[in-house]
Chains A and B, each alone.
Chain A
Amino acid sequence: MKPILATASLTVLVLLGAGCAQNPPAAASAEVPFGTRNADVYTYEYGSAPAAQAGSGGYSTSAGAGGYAASDLGAPIGAPGSGFGALPSEGQVIYFEFDSAEIRADARPLIRSHAEAVAASTGVMVLLEGHADERGTREYNIGLGEQRGDAVRRLMIASGVSPEQIQVVSYGEERPAALGPDERSMALNRRVEIVY
């Protein structure tokens, strides 16, 4: 049992180590070079060499030690964020019950008044941002946020807005308006923001 174990493990190492080609493992005590001078930078001398696509004989190290490279690590990509915990203006937001995309009766007048304003000016675009509280899984909450945005969208269309004037984007629980773990914060996060 002993030599079999050692040999099997060595095979793994050879696939893993850089520059192993000149050192075929013959015995359990064979010298196995491990890695190269750059941390985590390995060349594939054996097998299907999936790393070859990354450059000349190994991984790019443009991001410095570690071997990983990022697309852009200067300023963060994306437009300036609207901030964590930034509450939207009162007249621009529709709130929902837990795990529900049903529009509450008391939210209808606000949606209708936005709809009338949008319908009256043909060039205007409105963005409906759907959001969820932190309970539940993240991708499911993306779905829930979109259902909320769609519910507002349908009511706006029913109130005379052209579908081409409305866009819906769901952020799920990724951009909370309130950061607390309490029920009130979560209620503030179950929302659709109406953005012009």
Chain B
Amino acid sequence: MLRAIVLVVLWWSMVAWAQNDELTIEITQGVEGAIPVAVVPFTGPTGLPVELSEVVASDLARSGRFAIPSPQSYPDRPGSLADTRYQRWRGLRVDYLVVGRIQPAAEGYRVVFQLGDVLREDEMLNLSFSVAGNDLRRLGHEIADLVFEAITGEPGAFNSRIAYVSALRQPGGGTYSLVVADSDGYNPRVVLRSTQPIMSPAWSPDANQLAYVSFENNRSQIMVQNVYSGERRVLTDFPGINGAPAWSPDGGQLAFTLSKDGNPEIYVQSLSGGAPRRLTSNTAIDTEPAWLPAGNGLIFTSDRGGEPQLYTVGLDGARPTRLTFQGNYNADASISPTGGQLAMVHRQGGRFAIATMGLQGGNLQVLSAGGLDESPSFAPNGTMIIYATQQGGRGVLATVSVDGRIQQTLVSRDADVREPAWSPKIR
């Protein structure tokens, strides 16, 4: 099960957890056919707060695209490609090699890293950074993104964040927290804490703001909050349901669910003001809107046919068309930012699992084991999906590569965690 990524597991287990909201990662499924890459421990001072090469290795392994042999098997520990004797690495059967060195600098460190093609004996990347000590993790994610892109030709998604809801069960009342963490679960920050439920966080396309549902006033309201300044405002406060916010791809509009006209319907509202515009009209539950990448329509959940299924509606509000026909429960669509694909909650045999499907329809591909899996959200490069599941009666988060080959679980020590939303890449 663990195979070549043992080093990643070892490293995760050594980390001390400073906060209750911290998530720990468990790799639950290995990978075959991945590109072998050696990530050599960077040379330099010991005892750094972050082992940079292990952040890089962990990210690359988590994507499912790469297999990282354990450093114990490495023939050598070069700090630069100039010191690398490529032929010694061919025996390890790695295609690429990441090396680097860290030097103390006036305000932190100077980090140089290189990516080498082992077969061609060729330098592919050679970059140097000055970085503060408490920013080493983020640099690790950025290096992983650079390596990912140089080898696959697609952008990486590691330098991004996840938002999720954490619920702590306590006698006499629970506490609900809205948390923002790095894409690997590190550096969790609570951005809102409430005695009443918090739901459905959604990132703005610039990754600066979250829209979410709060019951802090004993009814549902849609809030918009800047995660950096903390500044927030009430976006909708109508009688009945205010739910399921989703930002348009250009960031100019929000789609959401309101029941002010009698039952749950899909609405769209410009963020610069104006009244919400209704797109659906049906006595069924219409909810969970997700924007099409072109921004000209939405996919949403409706039980108008007697059971929840996904439907598409244009912004003109013309009659929606049904999208899913496999199974009797398909809901909560998340659309790949790189196009062509959507993820959903799909019930089969009484179990709720995460499945993907082409945007134009076609066959469902079930990606998760199922149970109470829900809330799928794509990574900004479309290669992974994060979702909520349960483990031992507790809510945990999990990631799965879109080919279903590699899965990981992110577990909170104390709280139920759910409703993950993967941010656009941080710029």
- Measured between alpha carbons, how far is A109 from B189 in the docked complex, in Å? 49
CB of B238 within 8 A of chain A?
A: no
**Stretch with Cβ within 8 A of B (4 or more), from A87-95, A115-123, A143-151:** A143-151
A139 and B200 within 8 A (CB): yes
A169 smallest CB distance to B (angstroms): 5
Closest chain B residue to A64, Cβ basis:
B189
CB of B149 within 8 A of chain A?
A: yes
Q: A72-B193, A146-B241, A169-B219 are in contact. Are A51 and B128 (CB under 8 A)?
A: no
B124 and A2 within 8 A (CB): yes
Q: A139-B288, A146-B259 are in contact. Are A70 and B193 (CB under 8 A)?
A: yes
- Measured between alpha carbons, how far is A135 from B189 in the docked complex, in Å? 29
Which of B135, B216, B241, B418 makes the CB contact (< 8 A) with A170? B241
Query: Which residues does chain A contribute within 8 Å of B241, judged by CB atoms?
Result: 142-143, 146, 170
B190 and A84 within 8 A (CB): no
- Measured between alpha carbons, how far is A69 from B190 in the docked complex, in Å? 8
Query: Which residues does chain A contribute within 8 Å of B180, judged by CB atoms?
Result: 68
Q: B residues 87-143 with Cβ under 8 Å of A? A: 107-108, 110-111, 122-132, 134-135, 138-139, 142
Closest chain B residue to A36, Cβ basis:
B132
B192 and A77 within 8 A (CB): yes
B150 and A138 within 8 A (CB): no
Query: Which residues does chain B contribute within 8 Å of A40, judged by CB atoms?
Result: 135, 138, 187
Interface size on B (CB < 8 Å)? 91
CB of A15 within 8 A of chain B?
A: yes
A138 and B240 within 8 A (CB): no
Most buried by A among B176, B216, B285, B375: B285
A80 and B393 within 8 A (CB): no
B228 and A59 within 8 A (CB): yes
- Measured between alpha carbons, how far is A136 from B346 in the docked complex, in Å? 9
CB of B194 within 8 A of chain A?
A: yes
CB of B406 within 8 A of chain A?
A: no
A84 and B216 within 8 A (CB): no
- Measured between alpha carbons, how far is A81 from B175 in the docked complex, in Å? 8
Per-residue A-contact encoding for B272-310, CB less than 8 Å = 1, 0 else? 000000000000010110000000000001010000100
B142 and A34 within 8 A (CB): yes
Most buried by A among B111, B191, B225: B191
- Measured between alpha carbons, how far is A81 from B215 in the docked complex, in Å? 11
A76 and B127 within 8 A (CB): no
A113 smallest CB distance to B (angstroms): 25
CB of A60 within 8 A of chain B?
A: yes
CB of A13 within 8 A of chain B?
A: yes
Q: A residues 141-196 with Cβ under 8 Å of B? A: 142-144, 146-147, 150, 168-172, 174-175, 179, 181
Query: Which residues does chain A contribute within 8 Å of B159, judged by CB atoms?
Result: 16
Main secondary structure of the interface of A (DSSP, over half): loop
A81 and B173 within 8 A (CB): yes
CB of B33 within 8 A of chain A?
A: no
CB of B9 within 8 A of chain A?
A: no
A77 and B332 within 8 A (CB): no
- Measured between alpha carbons, how far is A32 from B329 in the docked complex, in Å? 50
- Measured between alpha carbons, how far is A9 from B154 in the docked complex, in Å? 11
Query: Which residues does chain A contribute within 8 Å of B257, judged by CB atoms?
Result: 139, 142-143
Most buried by B among A15, A30, A76: A76
Query: Which residues does chain B contribute within 8 Å of A63, judged by CB atoms?
Result: 189, 230
CB of A26 within 8 A of chain B?
A: no
Query: Which residues does chain A contribute within 8 Å of B259, judged by CB atoms?
Result: 143, 146
A144 and B331 within 8 A (CB): no
A6 and B125 within 8 A (CB): yes
CB of B243 within 8 A of chain A?
A: yes
Q: B residues 364-413 with Cβ under 8 Å of A? A: 372, 374-375, 390, 393
Query: Which residues does chain A contribute within 8 Å of B173, judged by CB atoms?
Result: 80-84
A139 and B287 within 8 A (CB): yes
B169 and A84 within 8 A (CB): yes
- Measured between alpha carbons, how far is A39 from B186 in the docked complex, in Å? 13
B228 and A39 within 8 A (CB): no
Which of B123, B175, B240, B331 makes the CB contact (< 8 A) with A146? B240
Query: Which residues does chain B contribute within 8 Å of A150, judged by CB atoms?
Result: 263
Closest chain B residue to A145, Cβ basis:
B241
B169 and A85 within 8 A (CB): yes
Closest chain B residue to A69, Cβ basis:
B230
A80 smallest CB distance to B (angstroms): 6
Closest 4 CB pairs of A and B: A81-B173, A69-B230, A35-B135, A143-B285
Residue contacts A-B, CB under 8 angstroms, 21 given: A13-B129, A28-B126, A36-B132, A40-B187, A47-B427, A50-B208, A54-B226, A55-B229, A59-B229, A71-B191, A78-B216, A81-B196, A84-B170, A84-B174, A135-B352, A139-B244, A140-B288, A140-B301, A140-B303, A142-B220, A170-B241
Q: Which residues of A contact B (CB under 8 A)?
A: 2, 5-6, 8-10, 12-13, 15-17, 28-40, 47, 50-51, 53-55, 59-60, 62-63, 65-73, 76-85, 134-140, 142-144, 146-147, 150, 168-172, 174-175, 179, 181
Known: A39-B132, A60-B229. 12 other contacts (CB 8 A): A5-B125, A37-B132, A68-B227, A69-B230, A70-B230, A77-B195, A78-B216, A140-B303, A140-B308, A142-B199, A171-B215, A181-B390
